[in-house]
Amino acid sequence: MSLTLRTISREQHLAYIRSLPSASHMQVPAWADVKAEWGSENLGWFDANGELVGAGLVLYRQLPKVKRYLAYLPEGPVINWFAPNLEEWLRPMLAHLKAKGAFSVKMGPPVVIRRWDAAAVKSGIQNPDVKRLRDVEATHIEPRAFEVSDRLRRMGWQQGEDGGAGFGDVQPRYVFQVPLEGRTLDEVHKGFNQLWRRNIKKAEKAGVDVVQGGYDDLPAWQRLYEVTAERDRFRPRPLAYFERMWKALNAEDPNRMRLYFAMHEGEAVAAATMLIVGGHVWYSYGASANHKREVRPSNAMQWRMLQDAYALGASVYDLRGISDSLDDSDHLFGLIQFKVGTGGQAAEYLGEWDFPLNKLLHKALDIYMSRR
């Protein structure tokens, strides 16, 4: 199969994404507008009949003082990763990006290697000898994923640093997902652990009301998000980022991004953003107040978002990043504990991979990034 690669229009790119069951929200054309500080390009792979068979959103970040770029395809490109001729997909991409002045390419193959169901994760948490998710026997293994990583290594790709829970620009390697396909809502609810079911009931009894917000409600979201950032010790993104995200994503598709609030006695006590691409729905950012935690607004909000995802016909509700640490003294442990209560699955992706086109500049970037 001979493949050619060239720049495509945003319209072609979007039409291709729409023809698929789903793709990462970071591979839709509008994501380039969200990441306004990066340059961007839409790439298309064509087969011998001239048909578009793959697409990729490339983000370009210029190195300080030189006209050379880091080319980044977050959770992409959207190609057939299990193709036996994977080299023929990636080689023209590297040549193209090199011609564009890239000194290094970073990509995140959207390929899951292993999955652990909630029971397996729970047994790992309860076992004092187990400190990491990777030390727990997986419930499901994708053998083809190992072939993909072997092929990448043979081509000269290098596995990037682990992104932990994905709170920086590096995408999470471990995520938590609730599968919806082939299940009734009742089955999904029954899959929750006792604590979750109890908390959903508690919120209902306390009169917590979950509502959808719009663009004008983003400042209210931001206030809660900044409270959360201070509590959980991370650097919050500015309001302008979420405003840009809302405008860009919903201009591309009016149902791409949603905003939810859990209200109690007229006050917003928890909030979350949700992203939708085809059958994949993500809980993307979450926030909650320091008070009124006893009315369990976050559980109520997640349940409503899950129900809405189900109503949209989603095949998976994705709670995004978790740390792979099962150590209860780890400050991110609460996150995995909260998410595992949904009865979903932890999934490990192949992680991010780098191809240094210029080894010297790539090394310089590594040093620059490690000092930040």
Which pLDDT belongs to residue 360?
82
pLDDT of 73-91, one tens digit each? Answer: 999 999 999 999 999 999 9
Do the Cβ atoms of 298 and 288 come closer than 8 Å? yes
* Whether residue 152 has pLDDT greater than 60: yes
Q: What is the mean pLDDT of residues 217-231?
A: 97
At residue 166 the predicted structure's pLDDT band, cuts being 50, 70 and 90, is very low
Indicate the average pLDDT of the chain: 94
Which pLDDT belongs to residue 335?
87
Q: What is the mean pLDDT of residues 347-372?
A: 82
Tokens of 30: 């509008």
Classify the C-alpha dihedral 130-133-139-144 as positive or negative: negative
Which pLDDT belongs to residue 217?
98
Q: Tell me the sheet residues that pair with 174.
A: 348
What is the model's pTM? 0.93
Side chain identity, residue 354: D
Q: Tell me the sheet residues that pair with 56.
A: 43
Which pLDDT belongs to residue 117?
97
CA atoms of 118 and 114, how far apart (whole Å): 13
Residue in this structure with the two tokens 């306004």, named with its chain if needed = 36
Q: Where does residue 78 rank: exposed (0-12), middle (13-18), buried (19+ CB within 10 A)?
A: buried
pLDDT of 246-255, one tens digit each? Answer: 999 999 999 9
Q: What is the mean pLDDT of residues 181-199?
A: 97
Q: What is the mean pLDDT of residues 325-352?
A: 92
Which pLDDT belongs to residue 370?
64
| C-alpha atoms less than 13 angstroms from C-alpha of 335 in its C-beta half-sphere | 23
Which pLDDT belongs to residue 161?
67
Comparing 171 with 225, which gets the higher pLDDT? 225
Which pLDDT belongs to residue 59?
97
Which pLDDT belongs to residue 361?
81
Percentage with pLDDT > 70 across the chain: 96
φ and ψ at 278, to 5 degrees? 60, -130
Q: What is the mean pLDDT of residues 129-157?
A: 96
Q: What is the mean pLDDT of residues 136-143?
A: 97
* Whether residue 44 has pLDDT greater than 60: yes
Which pLDDT belongs to residue 165?
36
Give the chain's domains with CATH numbers: 4-108+352-370 (3.40.630.30), 112-141+163-349 (3.40.630.30)
Q: What is the mean pLDDT of residues 315-344?
A: 92
Comparing 63 with 93, which gets the higher pLDDT? 93
CA atoms of 62 and 162, how far apart (whole Å): 23
φ and ψ at 287, to 5 degrees? -150, 150
Which pLDDT belongs to residue 371?
63
